[in-house]
Chain A
Amino acid sequence: MKKKVVSVLLLAAMAASTLAGCGGNSSGSQTSNTSNNTSNADSNSQAADTSNAGSDSQSGDAANADEGQVINIYSFNDELRNRITAVYPEIESTSADGTESTLKDGSVIHWIINPNQDGVYQDKLDEALNNQLSASADDKVDIFAAELDYIVKYTDADIDAAMTLESLGINPDTDLADQFGFTKTVASDQNGVQRASTWQACPGVLVYRRDIANEVFGTDDPEEIGKLTKDWATMKNTAEQLKAGGYYTFSSYADTFRLYNNSMENAWVAPGETVIKVDQKLMDWVTDSKEWKDAGYFDPAVKGQWNSDWFTAMGSSSKVFAFLFPAWGIDTQMVPNWDGEAGAWAVTNAPESYNWGGTFVLAAEGTDNPQHVKDIILALTADADNLTKISKEYADFTNAKSVMEAAAEDDSFASDFLGGQNPYTYFTPGADTIKMAPLSAYDQGCVELIQNTFGDYLQEQIDYDKAKANFETAIMERYPEITEIQWPE
């Protein structure tokens, strides 16, 4: 009997000790524990806090003393990690699996990467941000990335998930003076206070096949082709010529979507409202796409983007003349999918200037490493040398007017993929003329769903009114708070 009691007690003790790990370091009663863990980051920072409380020095130099030891960076792919490790001078080494980087002062960056697909990244990030207050210092989110499609969700001043740059100690007017204006506008909250910063701008161009251009137009000179693609009316004549030659102008109606979407007059949802107002520009996209599709200017085999048919259309056996992409698209989509010889493509101006995408960096409210966060954001998005490096190494169109203007003149930025052409001569002027469409927190869903529902219409599966009705159904499902959808005219 006694043996049993002892064994039960032992079991209970074991269970208690394993479960205690979950409780965290909050309890001060575990005297034996805390005395053993004097090197623990938590108690360290607590000690530092109390010692600093008296002096209350705000000088940046001494800041490292009260910084946490772990910097958590949330992102949706390795893009951000690659760029930060390339340009942040404090990084000493990065582990082979890419989950940790050690800094020179001994603190550690944890890279927390979740894919964007199906909202996984936002789910995890939202969860972490909601627990930000109660999380222990080492678990707090310090920096996170957000794409243009959903950045408004995080820059919202009412939610206060992201710190204002000013409270970090970055002055947007002086420190980020060289950034393109539109990137600063979209990175600001509803009161115009900038809460995010980015190293890239994404002005789009038209990327076309040189061999097809030579065959149909007798030239592959970007300037000559640019005259044929300068606006939609000219573009249509060009498309007719391409059709006569047996080629398609674009792969599908989804390719032209961003051009229309970017020139919207009003946001999908006005701030504080719950009514979706569909912009006339998008209806234009539908009618124009219908016209183009019926005329045979699109490859009928391609439906939408990011699928294998679309990728195949970028290959050498395809009959598609051009794609509409910003800098990242050429590097990440066209280069891997092109199976012919290098130098077969060239860039020129698109019929309408537009911006597509962009990754923004935000400092999470409640971070325990404000100094590091500030340094990283400045190194990544404001340092001209670093941005030049990023442009050269990753072919990004970086967010620095002076650097990009220089690059447009500098032949060392020429690309082998584009047959020795320097694409920045077309990116840079494009970036200056970009007028961003007003954003709303609903952009991601609206953009995705309107393309899907009207895709069915363009594929002649349903009629126009049914497509409208389907869009309304889908939107109400995705955003339960939306009360009404208004169509133009």
Chain B
Amino acid sequence: MKQKRKKIDYSKWGYIFILPFFISFFIFSLIPLVDTIRYSFYEYYRSGLKEIGPNFVGMDNFVSLLKSDMLKYAGNTLILWVIGFVPQIVIALLLASWFVDERLKIRGQQFFKVVIYLPNLIMASAFAMLFFTLFSNKGPINSILLSMGLTENPIDFMGTAFGTRSLVGVMNFLMWFGNTTIMLMAAIMGISPDIFEASEIDGCNSMQRFFLITLPLIRPILAYTLITSIIGGLQMFDVPQILTNGQGSPDRTSTTLIMFLNNHLKSKNYGMAGALSVYLFIVSGILCFIVYRITNDEDPDGSKAAAKKAKKAARKMERR
């Protein structure tokens, strides 16, 4: 007893304080996750009020999913994500480098930062509903186009695959470019000003400065943006769901993977939905891994080295 008192150890409080998170994670995330994987091997759905299953069927769900249009929906998801992500990252990079550029001295920076972030505050479903109304055949956009004489007949924006996909892309772009801009700004501001000054003395023009200094130095954050965006893109659901009324119309060209999943859940088909979720889990796992490797390994000043350094420093502090 006496010996124990000698050393005061507060570390247990750390564990106690993080305990609520792990308990809730265990109950609300881990158990459902394991259950999802388990049910993916079962035939388990409801027909009316009758419950069918769970009957063990092995890999049947996975096989029949491969035979279905799953890959088409994966393609749709990818297309919708790219349409939204490419302009998003380009505009965000541009805005971020302008905002932090000392020489441009943009006025009202705070105001613009708030404004570009605003679309992200709207619920995605409300935003989609808004676009649905704006771009409907008798909606305001068509009225404006008609009265300006730009078209003779109302344009059926949501009637074509191109139109619907573009609208989804525009919405995702509008919702997320502000968020990305602010993240990239933080990254650029993290670069030591000495480097910029030195480059200017060496006669670097702004193009070179952007491509040769800013871009390589914010690579870890760019990678982070890419990872989160891919994962977010894989889970794309509410915007196309609401815009197309859950149909992914026309001809299911804007049906995303999660909308496909949702279709299975209408009959409470936990088996099939579980199998699809497992596929998604594997794909996002692989994607994360690839992106992580590409961006971190050959990075001379990347986060891995930095993380190691930080760890060493932390250990030293501890010993003291």
Residue-wise, chain B 30-66 has the 8 Å CB interface mask toward A (1 for contact) of 0000000000000001111110100000000000000
B289 to chain A, nearest CB (A): 31
Interface residue total, chain B, C-beta cutoff 8 A = 35
A452 touches B247 (CB 8 A): yes
Complex: how many Å from CA A470 to CA B251? 8
Query: With A461-B159, A479-B47 as given contacts, are A308 and B139 in contact (CB-CB < 8 Å)?
Result: yes
B159 touches A459 (CB 8 A): yes
CB-CB nearest in chain A for B266:
A478
Complex: how many Å from CA A154 to CA B246? 25
B136 touches A308 (CB 8 A): yes
Neighbour of B263 across the interface among A153, A156, A459, A477, CB < 8 A: A477
B48 touches A309 (CB 8 A): no
- Which residues of B sit under 8 angstroms from A303, Cβ to Cβ? 137, 156, 159
Which residues of A does B touch, CB under 8 Å?
Answer: 118-119, 126, 129-130, 153-154, 156, 158-159, 161, 300-303, 307-309, 312-313, 441, 445, 452, 455-456, 459, 461-462, 466, 470, 473-474, 477-481
B159 touches A479 (CB 8 A): no
A-B contact pairs, 28 of them (CB 8 A): A118-B246, A130-B49, A153-B48, A156-B49, A159-B49, A301-B137, A301-B154, A301-B156, A302-B137, A303-B159, A308-B132, A308-B136, A309-B137, A309-B138, A441-B47, A441-B48, A456-B250, A459-B159, A461-B160, A461-B249, A461-B251, A473-B69, A473-B252, A474-B263, A477-B266, A479-B47, A480-B45, A480-B272
Query: With A307-B136, A309-B137 as given contacts, are A461 and B52 in contact (CB-CB < 8 Å)?
Result: no
B252 touches A470 (CB 8 A): yes
A313 to chain B, nearest CB (A): 8
B136 touches A309 (CB 8 A): yes
A227 to chain B, nearest CB (A): 32
A456 touches B154 (CB 8 A): no
Complex: how many Å from CA A307 to CA B246? 13
- Which residues of B sit under 8 angstroms from A313, Cβ to Cβ? 138
A114 to chain B, nearest CB (A): 16
B133 at interface, CB cutoff 8 A: yes
- Which residues of A sit under 8 angstroms from B205, Cβ to Cβ? none
B68 at interface, CB cutoff 8 A: yes
- Which residues of B sit under 8 angstroms from A312, Cβ to Cβ? 138
A301 touches B138 (CB 8 A): yes
Complex: how many Å from CA A452 to CA B252? 10
B40 to chain A, nearest CB (A): 14
A480 touches B269 (CB 8 A): yes
Candidate in B52, B250, B272 with the most chain A CB atoms within 10 angstroms? B250
- Which residues of B sit under 8 angstroms from A301, Cβ to Cβ? 137-138, 154, 156
A115 to chain B, nearest CB (A): 14
Complex: how many Å from CA A441 to CA B263? 18
Complex: how many Å from CA A156 to CA B47? 12
A365 to chain B, nearest CB (A): 11
Beyond A312-B138, A462-B250, A480-B267, 11 additional pairs, beta carbon < 8 A: A126-B49, A153-B49, A159-B50, A303-B156, A313-B138, A461-B161, A470-B251, A473-B68, A473-B252, A474-B263, A477-B267
Residue-wise, chain B 134-154 has the 8 Å CB interface mask toward A (1 for contact) of 001111000000000000011
- Which residues of A sit under 8 angstroms from B219, Cβ to Cβ? none
The 6 A-B pairs at the shortest CB distance, nearest first, are namely A301-B137, A461-B250, A153-B48, A312-B138, A477-B263, A462-B251
B209 at interface, CB cutoff 8 A: no
- Which residues of B sit under 8 angstroms from A308, Cβ to Cβ? 132-133, 136, 138-139
Complex: how many Å from CA A119 to CA B265? 11
Within B264-314, the residues touching A (CB, 8 Å) are 264, 266-267, 269, 272
Neighbour of A452 across the interface among B137, B154, B249, CB < 8 A: B249
Complex: how many Å from CA A466 to CA B249? 13
Complex: how many Å from CA A171 to CA B176? 62
- Which residues of A sit under 8 angstroms from B245, Cβ to Cβ? 307
Complex: how many Å from CA A309 to CA B142? 12
